[in-house]
Amino acid sequence: MANAVLRQEVDELREYMKELSYQAMRTEMALARMAEGMQEYREQGARTDAAVARLSEGVQEYREQGARTDAAVARLTEGVQEYREQGARTDAAVARLTEGMQEYKEQGARTDAAVARLTEGMQEYKEQGARTDAAVARFTEGAQESREQVARTVAEVARLSKEMREFKNEMRADREESARERQRMNKQWGELANRLGTLVEDIVAPNLPRIAAGLFGCATPDLFALRVVRHFGGETREYDAIVVCPALVLINETKSRLLEIHVDRILDKLGEFPRVFPEFADRRPIGILASLYPDASVVRRATRKGVLVMGMGDETMIVLNPEAAAER
């Protein structure tokens, strides 16, 4: 009895295993079909992408073709306009040609009239020739007298030229002597003012506004002051003269004898100027040393440092190194 039940269970188990095998086979077949479908889907997607790409290319080409068409239409429009303008110019040329033909006809009539007048003129010319011959005879007689007159005139001109040259030489000598005298007087005046301690007020100061206008375009300074004394933070600074312009400030130091150390000292003053005058801190400070006859070596050093130097010219104080004014 127990064996029969066991065989029945085994048979059922076998049937179940067989069914399970069939089920696995069907699953594998379904998976295979699904894999084939997926592959076909991928291929279809690839074909779709290719079609979309070709469509995009076609649209781009259509746009480019439209642009070329628009350009061609524009050129055609320009050609039509040019054709119309050419037609107008042709009409104008024809009108001018017609006018020219009429003028040519009128010119022909005038030419005929001129030929007739020329014929009459030839006769008159012959008569004039006879009169000319008579006049030449009379001229020959007067020519000798004219030659003698010319000779006298040439001699007179030579004498006057000699006198003018002598006069010019005398005037040149007088001008040179006057220039030397003016320079000597300027030098003496400067030396005298220097000895009196008024070099700044008498010679340097009157020229500072002119230099500010000439070198920096500062025609009307905001401030021009001499002997400036500034107290700040328990310290004191003195300046011989300052000229305040909208974009810069000229700071002058005048010395009876200018030394290279004075270049360094005015550079120190320029460096501390924004602290001493905070109200002008936004303006460029420029140093300008002054002396009657500064040494060339001092001028060269000042130029390298961007400091202007004033000295006595032929008539008044001038800047000896204007190139130092270039902004650095």
Read off the pLDDT band of 105 (50, 70, 90). confident
Residue 94: per-residue pLDDT: 40
235 domain residue, yes or no = yes
- The CB density around residue 260, as the number of other CB atoms within 10 Å, is 13
Q: What is the pLDDT of residues 277-313, one digit of tens each?
A: 999 999 999 999 999 999 999 999 999 999 999 999 8
| Confidence at residue 137, expressed as pLDDT on a 0 to 100 scale | 63
Q: What is the 8-class DSSP label of residue 272?
A: H
Half-sphere exposure of 7 (CA within 13 A, CB side): 4
Within a domain: 271 = yes
253 falls within a domain: yes
Q: Which of 211, 178, 205 is nearest to 193 (CA)?
A: 205
- Low-confidence winner among 70-84, 90-104, 232-246 (lowest mean pLDDT): 90-104
CA distances from residue 235 to 198, 229, 281 in whole angstroms, order as listed: 26, 11, 18
Enter the tokens of residue 124: 């008159």
pLDDT digits (tens, 9 = 90+) for 162-216: 887 887 788 787 788 877 877 776 676 656 555 545 666 778 989 999 999 999 9
Arithmetic mean of pLDDT, 18-43: 81
Q: Is residue 233 part of a domain?
A: yes
Residues 293 and 311: beta-carbon distance below 8 Å: yes
Write out the residue range of the structural domain in which residue 257 sits: 198-325
Domain count, the chain: 1
- What 3-state class would DSSP assign to 238? strand
Between the alpha carbon of residue 143 and those of residues 140, 146, 147, 273, the distances in Å are 5, 5, 6, 87
How does 230-254 read in b/e, with b if 16+ C-beta sit within 10 Å? eeeeeeeeebbbbbbbeebbbbbbb
3-state secondary structure (DSSP) of residue 286: strand
Longest alpha-carbon distance in the chain? 189
1 secondary structure, DSSP code: -
> Is beta strand 308-312 parallel, antiparallel or unpaired with respect to 317-319?
antiparallel
Measured on CA atoms in the order 23, 24, 30, 34, is the torsion positive or negative?
positive
CB-based contact 262:255 (threshold 8 Å): yes
220 falls within a domain:
yes
Task: Identify the residue whose tokens are 């080409």.
Answer: 61
Whose tokens are 């003195």? That residue is 238
Q: Which two tokens stand for residue 264?
A: 């360094």
Strand partners, 237: 230
Domain annotation covers residue 304: yes
Measured distance CA(177)–CA(148) in Å, rounded: 44
Per DSSP, 256 falls in state S
Element (H, E) at 222: none
CATH of the domain at 262: 3.40.1350.10
pLDDT tens-digit readout, 122-149 = 687 568 757 846 754 674 576 477 567 7
Which H or E element spans position 29?
Answer: helix 2-196
**Main-chain phi, psi angles of 251, to 5 degrees:** -115, 115
pLDDT digits (tens, 9 = 90+) for 257-284: 999 999 999 999 999 999 999 999 999 9
On whether residue 116 sits in a domain, the answer given is no
Question: Helix crossing, 260-276 with 296-305: angle to 10°?
Answer: 30
Q: How far apart are CA 32 and CA 55, in angstroms?
A: 34
Say what the pLDDT of residue 192 is. 54
- Residue type at 143 in one-letter notation: A
Please give the Cα distance from 265 to 255 (Å, whole number).
12
Is 205 domain-assigned? yes
